[in-house]
Amino acid sequence: MKNLAQSNYSSAIQTVKDLKAKYGNTWNAINPEIAARMVAQNRFKTGLDIAKYTAAIMRKDMAEYDADVSNYTQSLGCWHGFVAQQNMIAVKKHHKTTSKRYLYLSGWMVAALRSEFGPLPDQSMHEKTTVPALIKEIYDFLRQADAIELNDLFRRLEKGEDVQDQIDNFETHVVPIIADIDAGFGNEEATYLLTKKMIEAGACAIQIENQVSDAKQCGHQDGKVTVPHEDFIAKLNAIRYAFLELGVDDGIIVARTDSEGASLTQKLPVSNEPGDLASQYLAFVEAEEIDINDAEEDDVFLKREGKLVRPVRLPNGLYKFKDGSNIDRVVLDCVTSLQNGADLLWIETPTPNVKQIANMVNRIKEVVPNAKLVYNNSPSFNWTLNFRNQVYDEMLSEGENMTDYDRNNLMDAKYDDSQLSARADEKIRTFQIDGAKYAGIFHHLITLPTYHTTALDMNNLTEGYFGEEGMLAYVKGVQRQEIRKGVSCVKHQRMAGSNLGDDHKTFFAGDKALKADGKNNTSNQFEAISENNKVEEKLSKVV
């Protein structure tokens, strides 16, 4: 796919030449090479182009994971197009390719950061339109990153530098987005309509959960209410039909189950024959045997094994599942989803424990051998404490003397240099490798990393800037680091498109163009960042 820029460039030149011949003198000012350059800098014309392109990438990656589990994929959650753009620019700089790196769009962050209602909890209260709008925004920023980088390469080409191969084999910043549609924002028709908007914006993968739409809760909080399988299957169908209608035949559906932490259901489905899906769902509902003479007015009853039982109903009308049934419900949810059109699974767990995840996945694989997970490496977990607890138990079972450790205070910084901490940190480091190998995790993501990094960076900058360090806090902690680490937006005018705009104005107006990149541009104080986004050594010495 890398040579598309070259073929687009060549074909665009010929297309414009043909158009000039067709329309005559009125097109004299149009330069075919300039038009072709602009075409090359805008590879994707629509969101559907992006969805089709990225869906093919995900399908290829899924097949490669099936062949070799070391080929797992990763993403970070982004709440703004600029955050996503800088993520992918950094990926290309540090890892030389965007292969196997995606983006995640979190409903939690949309609710908390992008709703016109203001900050909201993760309960599907934000506007539906915010989700497709953010998808479009992210891809606008990624396409801008393409245009800026290619424009720089074309500038260098004009100066006689040998960069033609870099142009011909340019790798786009556009990568797959796994987009969170929560529980579908209503009935299956509402899910279908919103899915279409998300696909049209560029989404190739839709993640949907099996909670009740109007009672949706964050997966890491209490009070979750799941729906019967038939209701969830209807929404899986709605998403698939939306993909097919829009011509994204390879579209990905990620079916998420919250049953591990959910203890309630809103509906008692209708069973048509023993052992059907509704019957299996009803079997999980907690019920008490009752004599009809002891029944209350308007009670609800089920017949089980020839006995009359009354489902346990709470004052709010919700029904309670049997204690200890959660893992069995998770497995049935996953198997049923994969058998009814889902491509990938998402299981929310109470802790990040590879063995616990693997126990569930292995049961699923007994029915669907190629079952694969998208797993949330969630900031809702206390990773340090969880893994120190796991290692504490391991060391104890190995006969280690644990008297130096206070089991109730393992977060204490005094343990940071201990053997326990070293082993725990190594488990955290290899968690994604181990999860991919032993627990069927195809895609690892962190839902809210940029929410937390923004808060942390503002905390650190504020502490110094409004204190004794003053401006040095910014220069030392931000700008100097940007320069020395080659962060692309150190020249923020360029990153916002100023240089690109100057070239466009030159294309359009020639020598009459009023450009920003003159001798009085203070950005000239910064040395140019090399093609690998590394600052030249002499700049570090100056600073």
Write the pLDDT tens digit of every residue in 198-243.
999 999 999 999 987 666 565 555 567 899 999 999 999 999 999 9
Low-confidence ranges of the chain (pLDDT < 70): 1-8, 121-123, 213-223, 513, 515-543
Cβ–Cβ < 8 Å for 210, 255: yes
What per-residue confidence (pLDDT) applies to 531? Answer: 40
What per-residue confidence (pLDDT) applies to 214? Answer: 67
- H or E segment to which residue 225 belongs: strand 225-226
pTM score: 0.90
Identify the residue whose tokens are 């049997």. Answer: 322
Q: What share of the chain is helix, strand, coil (3-state, %, to 5)?
A: 50, 10, 35
Cβ–Cβ < 8 Å for 262, 224: yes
What per-residue confidence (pLDDT) applies to 218? Answer: 58
What per-residue confidence (pLDDT) applies to 517? Answer: 67
Active site residues: 218
**How remote is the C-alpha of 440 from its chain's centroid?**
18
What per-residue confidence (pLDDT) applies to 533? Answer: 44
What per-residue confidence (pLDDT) applies to 4? Answer: 44
Burial classification of residue 277, based on how many CB atoms lie within 10 Å of its CB (0-12 exposed, 13-18 middle, 19 or more buried): middle
